[in-house]
Copies of this chain bind each other. A is one copy, B any other.
Amino acid sequence: MIASQRPGPSIAQIHITPIAVTDPPLLNAAGIHAPFALRTIVELVTEDGISGISEIPGSALIDQALKMAGDLILGKDPFQMNLIRDELRQHFGSDQRRGDAPWDQRKLVHVFSAIEVACLDIVGKVVNRPVCDLLGGKRRDQVPYAAYLFYKQEGAGGEHGFGKDDSARGWAEARQVGALDPAGVIKQAGSMCESFGFKSIKLKGGAFPPWEELEAVKALFDHFTEMPIRFDPNAAWSLDTATEIGKEMEKYLEYLEDPVRGQENMALLRKRLNVPLATNMCTTSFADLPSSIALGSEDIILSDHHFWGGLQASMQLSAFCEVFGRKLSMHSNSHLGISLAAMTHLGAALPEVPFALDTHYPWQSEEIIEGGRFQFEEGSLNVPSGPGLGVELDRPSLERLNQNYLQCGIKERDDEAEMQKLDPQWKFEKTRW
């Protein structure tokens, strides 16, 4: 039995625009960020001219999948998200598990997420309500984010390092500075927190030997005495290393993110350490939940609506977390304001926000939404109040960043290749230490 369509707005156009966004040389377990991060902007337009937008991590593969998805959803009613999801699932099949990299490349959840968020944007505009009201309504007016620190090389990414509309001028300069040791990390943290008012700190590790990174965590703890601190080596540690370093690190941390690879190792480590473990690498899909529950692999799931199949699926994930005693917080990749708006609507609707959410946003300087970049207040964002996502495309900026994409030559994220430009011998290792 196929449901008949109720007359309603139908999707008449789909525009898929890959963009390349200036990104600083940030270090991580997989290498170093290239001068450009890829995002893909999706715009759905109904026959009566209502536009819905979304933003997802970009790659040639995902763009191709989106193009196929576009053919499937033309003529569909954006209210009918169940049917759209069924049809996409039927076409793309279920995703295999995510790969070894710290980022995620699964097709189906990315495509779902892109289309669902754009549909929610349209529905919000049709019913004159913000997207959070389509998730059961806003539970808070401000959504807190964390200072996301990186070890980094000098520079802020190509020659496009400064966004002209970046109000945090001090940070725009500080963003260029390298940070390769505890002193550099402390300086970066001070500048970022001062500029944005963040009240929590996350340090991305996995770039240097664990004992060196432990020193940076300890320095942050000693220096920012009021701030909860988290650390994430992207599963670059063996279970033995994680046990040893974790025992030292646990007293400094709010939580420890993905110290080891795989649910089994996480579950073993969790029994040995006295610090909550968080993940966006070992429990990354609904299919991972049964083994997560059986093993007890983490305390905190760092959701990402781009990887979990959209905002409604993220609300469902929060229900799982509530039932099974997990906390939910949010993961991020390099992104712009459309993703940030979606994350903020979700953050407003979630039953609780026990930890400030991750965002790479301060590392980007460009924007593609009207009015320029989001302004943080005391580390939080006000939930956009306009209908839908509450943000609109700035088309000249979109065009400019699409030109960046066409010219930069990058077709998928490859932090290893980028690192090899600095050190030809460097190789990604799933477990380095």
Q: Within 8 Å CB of A289, what residues of B? A: 323-324
Residues of B contacting A133 in the complex (Cβ-Cβ under 8 angstroms): 6, 79-80
Most buried by B among A6, A84, A286, A312: A6
Is A349 located at the chain interface by the 8 A CB criterion? yes
For residue A424, give the distance in angstroms from its CB to the closest CB of chain B: 45
A6 pairs with B385, CB closer than 8 A: yes
Report yes or no: B141 in contact with A4, Cβ–Cβ below 8 A: yes
Q: Which residues of B contact A218 (CB under 8 A)?
A: none
Q: Confirm or deny: A163 has a beta carbon within 8 angstroms of a beta carbon on chain B.
A: no
With beta carbons under 8 angstroms apart, the residue of B135, B140, B319, B324 that contacts A290 is: B324
Cα A130 to Cα B80 in complex, Å, equals 11
Q: Which residues of B contact A323 (CB under 8 A)?
A: 286-287, 289-290, 320
Chain B residues whose CB sits within 8 angstroms of the CB of A422 once the complex forms: none
A311 to chain B, nearest CB (A): 12
CA distance A133 to B7 in the complex (A): 12
- In the bound complex, CA of A325 to CA of B312 (Å): 21
Q: How far is the CA of A319 from the CA of B289 in the complex (A)?
A: 12
Verify if A267 is at the interface (C-beta below 8 Å from B). Answer: no
Judge whether A212 is part of the interface by a CB distance below 8 angstroms. no
Residues of B within 8 A of A293 (CB): 290, 293
Is the beta-carbon distance between B138 and A6 smaller than 8 angstroms? yes
Contacts of A245 in B (CB 8 A): none
**Which residues of the other chain, B, contact A290 by a CB distance below 8 angstroms?**
293, 323-325
Does A77 lie within 8 Å of B322, measured CB to CB? no
Give the shortest distance, in Å, between A44 (CB) and chain B (any CB). Answer: 15
- Residues from chain B with Cβ under 8 Å of A130 in the complex: 6
Chain B residues with Cβ below 8 Å from A141 are: 1-4
**Interchain CA distance A133-B79 in the complex, whole Å:** 6
The CA-CA distance from A1 to B353 in the complex, in Å, is 11
In chain A, positions 103-158 with a C-beta closer than 8 Å to chain B are: 126-127, 129-130, 133, 135-142
Query: Is A351 in contact with chain B by the CB < 8 A criterion?
Result: yes
Q: In A277-291, which residues have CB < 8 Å from any B CB?
A: 286-287, 289-290
Q: Which residues of B contact A1 (CB under 8 A)?
A: 140-142
Q: Does A398 contact B (CB under 8 A)?
A: no
The reply to whether A83 and B137 contact each other, CB–CB distance below 8 Å, is yes
In A80-116, which residues have CB < 8 Å from any B CB?
80-86
Report if A348 contacts B (CB, 8 A).
Answer: yes
A385 and chain B: residue at smallest CB distance: B6
Q: Is the CB of A349 within 8 A of B136?
A: no
**A316 at the A/B interface (Cβ < 8 Å)?**
yes
Residues of B within 8 A of A140 (CB): 1-3
Give the chain B neighbours of A4 by CB distance below 8 A. Answer: 141
- Say whether A137 contacts B320, CB under 8 Å: no
13 further A-B contacts with Cβ under 8 Å, apart from A6-B385, A8-B129, A83-B138, are A1-B140, A3-B137, A3-B139, A3-B348, A6-B138, A80-B136, A80-B137, A82-B137, A82-B351, A86-B351, A286-B323, A289-B324, A290-B324
Interchain Cβ contacts under 8 Å between A and B, 16 examples:
A3-B138, A3-B348, A4-B141, A6-B133, A6-B138, A8-B129, A79-B129, A82-B138, A86-B139, A86-B351, A126-B127, A127-B127, A289-B323, A290-B323, A316-B316, A320-B320
In the A-B complex, the 8 residue pairs with the smallest Cβ-Cβ separation, listed nearest first, are: A80-B137, A82-B136, A127-B127, A1-B140, A3-B138, A82-B137, A316-B319, A79-B133
